[in-house]
Amino acid sequence: MKNIEESRARLKGIFNITVTPFTPAGEIDKAGIARSVERVIGLGYDGVLIGGTYGEFPAMSTGERADLFRHVMDVVQDRVPVMLCSAGSDARVVRELTELAGDLGGLPMVTPPFVSEVTDEQIVSFFKDIAPVSKTGILVYNAPGIGITLAPDVLERLADMPEAVGIKQGDLSVTAIDRIANRLGGRIRLFCASDLAFLGPMMAGFDGISSTNSCALPELILETYRALERGDAHSARDLHRLWYDFRALARRHGQPQTTKAAMNLRGFDGGSVRLPLRDLPEAVKAEIAAVLGKLANEPSARLSLAA
């Protein structure tokens, strides 16, 4: 992507939140992440998100994150749009990575700075300082998981920034989704940040979703989204129900740990997590294997355990 206008035009559909595979020694497996990106592009995903919260960016150095950006952009070669997470608590790092992401042709994804007792006014000022450094604009990520939830009125103020291309909404409360969809829809691209419950936001008029579990279940989650996109809400609902047991495991044992374990069981490049996260024990992996086996016996899941 070359500029803000192109970012706006291309930012829609289903994006795979690509996990970062680490070796047992803690190194980034560049060949593995390249294969993961190629898999979802080949299946027809509309884009990828690199180095996000489930990509374990808080456990990476600034240099590692910049190197990962460059590597993936070389792999993708602009075939699909790429969100590059430049979030952080140090505004200097966020500025550096946001500028780099835009220069590489990606769309920087920025969260509020996760520092204690930051005010709404300080958050808005932070975004206004950072946004102009990216020639492709920015994606505002409302990520309650970092300890800060942006209220709809703050999101409306951020949507007024000329560099704001989209909002990735992690607060999926009904009232927040209703207000955002109806007040910001058409003004700015709206993305549902969770594949655990994306049917409602999409029916409300959101422009797309980002999905971590699609690393493990790429066929099923893609088909669920495409059914909804076609207007076949009944099929989308039924397909989404199929992988409830997997979602339950992910909620219990955490992401990206569960996703990576399932990827490895399928022969994909999940790799290991990096400390402070821990890879799941064998007993939990057996639970995941049982859920995958059940899904493989569901014809509509289109899931094979062969890699």
Catalytic annotation, residues: 141, 168
Strand partners, 189: 166
Distance CA 17, CA 218 (A): 11
CB 257 within 8 A of CB 6: no
The phi, psi pair for 109, rounded to 5°, reads -110, 120
Chain centroid to CA 142: how far? Answer: 12
Report cis status (omega within 30 of 0) of the bond before 276. Answer: yes
Distance CA 127, CA 277 (A): 29
Residues recorded for the chain: 307
Distance CA 162, CA 149 (A): 22
CB 26 within 8 A of CB 35: no
CB 99 within 8 A of CB 134: yes
Q: Burial code of 156-172, b = ≥16 C-beta within 10 A, e = fewer?
A: bbbbebebbbbbbbbbb
Other CB atoms within 10 A of residue 128 CB? 15
* Ramachandran quadrant class, 293 (left: phi over 0; alpha: psi -120 to 50; beta: rest): alpha
